[in-house]
Amino acid sequence: MTISLKEEKKVFGGRQIRYEHTSSVLNCTMQFSVFLPPQVEQGKVPAVYWLSGLTCTDENFSSKAGAQRVAAELGLALIIPDTSPRGDDVPDDADGAYDFGKGAGFYVNATEQPWQQHYRMYDYIVDELPALVEANLPVSDARAISGHSMGGHGALVIGLRNSSRYASISAFSPIVHPTAVPWGKKAFSGYLGDNESAWQDYDATVLLRASKGKNVPPILLDQGEADNFLEEQLRTEFFVEANEAVGAGARIRMQPGYDHSYYFIATFIEDHLRFHASNLR
């Protein structure tokens, strides 16, 4: 349960830091990024866990979203893991595809070979990483979770399956119904096999319907209407329908003119952090 400091920068009175550690869950060396606000000088602070999308590492959000200013004001730590296991011993897609293998862990626990030994990102995010962070850093066990695209899928699934662990959930451009779209079908068949009943545990729309609206944390979802992945891969309408059917109370905002990029995230990240801060209090 030890971490090694790799890099540190001062920003908005806080610290943007990159750490490395040996993961017993993923069986490899992992890196993750953290923003610690200036309030850590007075004691532990709550955390927002950010899950990034396809092809990303732990550095995309910290360098592109512009989240540190508001996090510093609100006294929120930002915990930013990588999107998959890494290293020479970790298997990757044979054709180098961007949507499977390294950079595309999909926040599931793989059950198929050769992925099973390393691709257990669900357990890593839910159990190992928070335990590591809370044991080594001035961060409390008050948590919220957020993410983008594949990471939005991960945030919704993890938050819905672990509602007692997360005060709130938010997502940008999430893959809300992966069992019904090409990205999800490819990833789930590879990591989880052909038994599609096993896929249901990692589908936010299925999980929301199954909840019947009970024990659902507050949810904020932003989706750009000009997102080129919306119609084929993201399919926000499925989550909207499930939310209305069970009365879960999720706030789902369709944003005219915005696409899938970090410009979209940077525009609305302040809303999301203030949403989480209000629930973490």
- By annotation, the residues acting in catalysis are 149, 227, 260
Alpha-carbon gap, residue 18 to 61, rounded angstroms: 13
State whether the Cα torsion 223-142-166-219 is positive or negative: negative
Alpha-carbon gap, residue 111 to 61, rounded angstroms: 29
- β-pair partners for 79: 34, 49
Long-range CB pairs of 22-25, under 8 A, 24+ apart, other chains included: 23/85, 23/124, 23/128, 24/128, 25/120, 25/123, 25/124, 25/127, 25/128
Alpha-carbon gap, residue 41 to 178, rounded angstroms: 42
Residue 73 CB contacts under 8 Å (≥ 6 apart), including other chains: none
Residue 226 CB contacts under 8 Å (≥ 6 apart), including other chains: 256, 257, 258, 259
Question: Do 239 and 230 form a contact (C-beta atoms < 8 A)?
Answer: no
Other Cβ atoms closer than 10 A to 189: 15
- β-pair partners for 36: 15
Alpha-carbon gap, residue 101 to 148, rounded angstroms: 18
Question: Do 155 and 171 form a contact (C-beta atoms < 8 A)?
Answer: yes
